[in-house]
Structures are given as structure tokens and as C-alpha cells.
């Protein structure tokens, strides 16, 4: 009986200290960077980046990243090829709804906790990067702004 009471109290305590999305879906997620037209997939290394961090991974393997509400940028490279890709996160409204139902986002600050952890967001489970020969890749030129006459 005491064990059952302890279990219920521990479960309720977990909900009071964290948001529903953080508890059930977490602040991290698995993602696979898949390369297309890759001549050396075993040698291809990719850099995944968002505002929460940067991860150096091997192409075509599962990696764990921290969720974010911003665009995910991916750059892959091997000896002769290079490629870029990106992924947009989707807002997981069901977690916000669950936080609202649980405590109205007030009593336990579950919405704040889930928001800080970016647990309301999720990226696609895979990002495709089209590889091309390095000589064929044209670097992106960013505008420097308008020139002013003197």
C-alpha cells in the first residue's frame, strides 16, 4: 500500500516539475541525414546545426539532436562531393493542449518548461541531402546591402 502511494506521489510530482511534452516526448529527437547521389557514403560526414547546438554525424546513420523551433541546417561533405539540406520543425499542438488540460499552464508552469526545452517542436525523422561534385557546387552569395553614393 505504501509503495502504491509513493508511486502515485512520484508520478504526480513529475508532472508538477515538468511539462507534458518534456516528459513524454523529450527535448531531443532521433534524426537520420540521408544522402542522395553519394559516391562515398561511408566517408561522408555531415554537420547538423540549429540554435540549440551543432552535431557532427556520419551520413545515413541515426543521430540524436536537441529540438528547436527554428530551421535545421545540414551540410555534408566527402573528398569529392558536397551537399546541403534543411528541415523545418512542426509545432506539436497536442502537447500544448495537454498542458492546458493538466494545469492551465499556470500551476506547474508546464507550458514554460516545455517551451524552454523546445519540446513543443519536432523535426522530420530524416533529412535528404543531394550530393554533387565539389566543382559543380556554386557557393551561395549573400547580398552585402545597397551601395550608397557619396
Query: Tens of pLDDT along 78-124?
Result: 999 999 999 999 877 665 666 556 655 555 566 667 666 666 788 99
Name the more confident of 146 and 55: 55
pLDDT surpassing 70 at residue 29: yes
Q: What is the pTM of this model?
A: 0.69
- Extended beta strands in 89-139, E state: 90-91, 121-122, 126-130, 132-133
* Sign of the alpha-carbon dihedral angle for 91, 97, 102, 103: positive
DSSP 3-state helix, strand, coil percentages of the chain (rounded to 5)?
Answer: 25, 35, 40
Amino acid at each position: 500500500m505504501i509503495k502504491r502511494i509513493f508511486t502515485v506521489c512520484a508520478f504526480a510530482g513529475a508532472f508538477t516539475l515538468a511539462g507534458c511534452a518534456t516528459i513524454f516526448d523529450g527535448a531531443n529527437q532521433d534524426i537520420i541525414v540521408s544522402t542522395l547521389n553519394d559516391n562515398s557514403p561511408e566517408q561522408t560526414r555531415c554537420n547538423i546545426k540549429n540554435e540549440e547546438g551543432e552535431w557532427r554525424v556520419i551520413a545515413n546513420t541515426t543521430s540524436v539532436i536537441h529540438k528547436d523551433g527554428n530551421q535545421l541546417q545540414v551540410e555534408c561533405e566527402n573528398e569529392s562531393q558536397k551537399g546541403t539540406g534543411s528541415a523545418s520543425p512542426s509545432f506539436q499542438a497536442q502537447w500544448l493542449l495537454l498542458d492546458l488540460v493538466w494545469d492551465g499552464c499556470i500551476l506547474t508552469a508546464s507550458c514554460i518548461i516545455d517551451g524552454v526545452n523546445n519540446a513543443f517542436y519536432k523535426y522530420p525523422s530524416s533529412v535528404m541531402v543531394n550530393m554533387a561534385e565539389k566543382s559543380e557546387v556554386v557557393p551561395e552569395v549573400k547580398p552585402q546591402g545597397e551601395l550608397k553614393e557619396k
